Chain A
Amino acid sequence: MARTLYQKIWDNHIVHQSSGEPAILYIDCHLVHEVTSPQAFAGLRMAARKVRRPDLTYATVDHNVPTWSRSLPITDPVAKAQVDALVRSCAEFEIPLYGLDNPNQGIVHVIGPELGLTQPGMTIVCGDSHTSTHGAFGALAFGIGTSEVEHVLATQCLRQFPSKTMQIQINGKLRTGVTAKDVILFIIRTIGTDGATGYVIEYTGATIADFSMEERMTVCNMSIEAGARAGMIGPDETTFAYLKNRVMVPQGSEFDEALTRWKTLATDPDASFDRQVDFDVSALAPQVSWGTSPGMVTDVTGTIPDPASFAREEQRRSAERALEYMGLRPGTRVQDIGIDRVFIGSCTNSRIEDLRAAARTAQHKHVNSRVHAMVVPGSQRIKRQAEEEGLADIFRNAGFEWRESGCSMCLGMNSDTLNPGERCASTSNRNFEGRQGRNGRTHLVSPAMAAAAAIAGHFVDVRNWEETA
């Protein structure tokens, strides 16, 4: 029978299936970070259980770590206790740890692909919803809660019911200045924040085929913002070229064997999906979120919508509440909205191509005097590469702060937060109330859009950047 990529990976990982029960699914790679793991390790200790496969488990610290300097101790005692707990647990259970002093430390969804831990056909889980990022490599990757983290640590398996499948086909050549971030924001805007609940999405089409691995990761990363269990993209030559010679990827003849296996993963031509949605992105404008949910998005050339224009009562109430929180009025032009802060970073947009795009926009210019802007690379490797390429100097010369790697102001668990009322152009993934700091106002945009906003002091259409700058 013809099968999708998702169904092939699912079938390959069934350890046991009893009728009417969730399958016991084997997990190939378990990524662990400091915030969602301490209670799982405590549970293991209480039940005198071991980590079944420490060799398939990898840990890093990213969520609450400071990004100012690696030479200073963590000053927040509660955050320090959490980081220390992970260090102790990794030592006790013999799990490899990319700790604060490790040259490979970084955001868990950045270092997995970077080190080659993420490979096609794998099942990958992590106690973090943005685990969907790894689906860009043709892996089945999804976020889990702490109890499930404990379950995977103890058994290397998870209990899962199969998901429905959704194909999102994307065609059309993007205009200069329009990016993968704009594509995924537009998709969420269209299908809604629960549009893919219960589904695993496979992204297909010419636009996706043309995307680099980093662009594909940006798309898959935000699948969760549409409610999807996972997002994935069939592995192709772009995927294989990215993986070749990565530290944890097999080398030589073993690589060739892996390649043969990976090439069988593509969705069969006559396989069917439970739902299909098509997009033509050739006329897409850069996207800017205006509200407190990642589906509340409009074109940079657009205006703030009137809550009364929404079809359903629940949507109207949500929009009213969002506009009150965001301090915005219906009809305001997006490009007239001034900003106070800029955050370039997060597991969505902190990779080298993101930083290059932002640096191109910022080169020979200066951050607006009313704006405080920061760039937080996704990993120590990216930080070093950006410094070698001269990107860090471009940012610093333009007045951006250049930080150490971590999740930083995507969720503001460390001291990188917005003050009440501050408005931020952010390359992250969530614009929820208080996400970046209590009463902070987040607008989700691409790296180039964020850099342009930092310089102009308000949103601008980067498609016209050369003329306006």
Chain B
Amino acid sequence: MKPFTVHRGIVAALNRANVDTDQIIPKQFLKRIQRTGFGEFLFYDWKHRLDGSINPDFELNQPQFAGATILLAGTNFGCGSSREHAPWALLDFGFRCIIAPSFSDIFFNNCLQNGMLPVRLTETEVAQLFELCKTTPGFSLTVDLTNQRISDEAGNDFRFDMDAFRRHCLLNGLDEIGLTNQFEDHIRMYEQSRI
């Protein structure tokens, strides 16, 4: 897993609540058996019209968001299906960090497993960021996981929470299976105690 320490990038705004994983990666693209190559299918049904042409009205098709690596979203982002294809698609498309007032549990965990940082800020803070994104050309943020801070060039600064264990794993790009395997003796003892 690629470590996440400090990331600076353009912010794309998707000001909608309850964006579900069916929208992030529609089901017709779930049949691949690899982890890669999902980026071109990200938000496919919103990005494209029925005839396959680009839908210019969709937020992420706006030219000012080209090259964005930070996604700003509404409440309950990533709800619905547990498909990890959703964070795979976001990551493959280029996003490294998602900021929202709340996330679904499974999606939040899935991001962490892939070195993509989900950041919870308050609704007021997210509303402020949406406003800044609207009014500041090329709005960018610096996301600093070491110090758990998000800041822009104008001096706006937000603190976010992340539990120490997940933070440690992200900062160091650790493989969780490898970590759990260090407790092999405990697992074996637990299994023996239950026979």
Which residues does A use to contact B, with CB under 8 Å? 15-16, 20-22, 24, 26, 35-36, 38-39, 42, 47, 49, 52, 63-64, 76, 78-79, 81-82, 85, 127-129, 143-148, 150-151, 154-157, 159, 161, 193-194, 197-198, 224, 227, 229, 293, 314-315, 317-318, 321, 411-413, 420, 430, 432-435, 438-439
Residue of B nearest to A156 (CB): B187
C-alpha gap A147/B181 in the complex (Å): 15
Instruction: Indicate if the CB atoms of B30 and A413 lie closer than 8 Å.
Output: yes
Set B87, B109, B181: member contacting A155, Cβ < 8 A: B181
Which residue from chain A places its CB closest to the CB of B81 in the assembled complex?
A: A129
Once bound together, how far apart are the Cα atoms of A76 and B30, in whole Å?
13
Are B114 and A413 neighbours in the complex by a CB distance under 8 Å? Answer: no
Q: Interface readout for B89-113 with A: 1 if CB under 8 Å, 0 if not?
A: 0000000000000101110011001
Asked if A438 contacts B50 (CB within 8 A), the reply is: yes
Contact B187 A318 (CB under 8 A): no
Partner among A22, A39, A227 whose Cβ is within 8 Å of the Cβ of B33 = A39
21 contacts between A and B (CB under 8 A): A16-B183, A20-B163, A20-B164, A21-B165, A24-B186, A26-B191, A39-B33, A39-B84, A144-B82, A151-B177, A151-B180, A155-B177, A157-B187, A194-B104, A197-B76, A227-B76, A321-B16, A411-B81, A413-B27, A430-B22, A432-B80
Interface residues of B (CB under 8 A from A): 16-18, 20, 22-23, 26-28, 30-35, 45, 50, 74-76, 79-84, 87, 102, 104-106, 109-110, 113-114, 163-165, 176-177, 179-181, 183, 186-187, 190-191
A194 touches B76 (CB 8 A): yes
List the B side residues contacting A26 at CB < 8 Å: 187, 190-191
Option from A38, A63, A79, A194 in Cβ contact (under 8 Å) with B79: A194
Do A129 and B27 touch across chains, with their CB atoms under 8 A apart?
no
By the criterion CB–CB under 8 Å, are B186 and A78 in contact? Answer: no
CB distance from A160 to the nearest CB of B (A): 9
Given contacts A145-B106, A318-B17, A433-B45, contact A159 B183 (CB under 8 A): no
Chain A: CB-nearest residue to B180: A155
Residues of B within 8 A of A154 (CB): 177, 180-181
Instruction: Give the CA-CA distance A404 to B163 in the complex, in Å.
Output: 46
Question: In the complex, are the beta carbons of B45 and A15 less than 8 A apart?
Answer: no
Which listed residue, A20, A155, A315, A411, touches B187 by the CB 8 Å rule? A155
Q: Specify the chain B residue showing the minimal Cβ separation from A26.
A: B190
Pick the contact of A314 from B17, B50, B114 — CB < 8 Å?
B17
A36's partner among B79, B84, B104 (CB-CB below 8 A) is B84
CA distance A26 to B193 in the complex (A): 12
A317 and B104 CA atoms in complex are apart in Å by 20
Could you tell me if B79 and A193 are in contact, using CB atoms closer than 8 angstroms? yes
> What is the CA–CA distance of A143 and B108 in the complex, to the nearest angstrom?
13
Hey, which chain A residues are within 8 Å of B18, CB to CB?
193-194, 293, 318
The chain A residue with its CB closest to the CB of B194 is A26
Q: Chain A's nearest CB lies how many Å from the CB of B145?
A: 17
User: Can you add 13 more A-B contacts, CB < 8 Å, to A39-B33, A147-B84, A154-B180?
Assistant: A21-B165, A39-B35, A82-B33, A129-B106, A143-B106, A145-B113, A146-B35, A147-B176, A156-B187, A156-B191, A321-B16, A413-B27, A430-B80
Which residues from B are CB-within-8-Å of A229?
A: 105
The answer on a CB contact under 8 Å between A78 and B31 is yes
B114 pairs with A147, CB closer than 8 A: yes
Q: Is the CB of B104 within 8 A of A197?
A: yes
